[in-house]
Amino acid sequence: MRKSEFDRAVVDEFGEGYGRVVTHDVVLAKLGNQTADEAIAHGVPPRDVWLALCEVENVPLSRRHGVGLPKPRR
């Protein structure tokens, strides 16, 4: 997962406004008590951050994998 895919996944799951709050304010214990923004800035792979964020925010498993990808071109 690239950072752009992470950003898209956050907006798709949480919305534009709340997504910014979640990545800025929610502390992820699994990632050393950092927020998602901090963890990515410190080099944690976006996929790991996404999965930790999903766990904390109780995102259903069915919506955790394969998100953030652009829709296929036709």
Q: What is the mean pLDDT of the chain?
A: 90
Structure-token pair, residue 23: 């990545």
pLDDT per residue over 21-49, tens digit each? 999 999 999 999 999 999 999 999 999 99
Q: How confident is the model at residue 73 (pLDDT cuts 50, 70, 90)?
A: low
Structure-token pair, residue 45: 């792979």
Q: How confident is the model at residue 74 (pLDDT cuts 50, 70, 90)?
A: low
DSSP characters over 43-71:
T--HHHHHHHHHHHTT--GGGTSSTTPPP
Residue 71's alpha-carbon distances to 5, 45, 56, in angstroms, are 11, 22, 27
Separation of alpha carbons 32 and 62, rounded Å: 26
Q: Which amino acid is at 18?
A: Y
**What are the residue ranges spanned by the domains of the chain?**
3-57
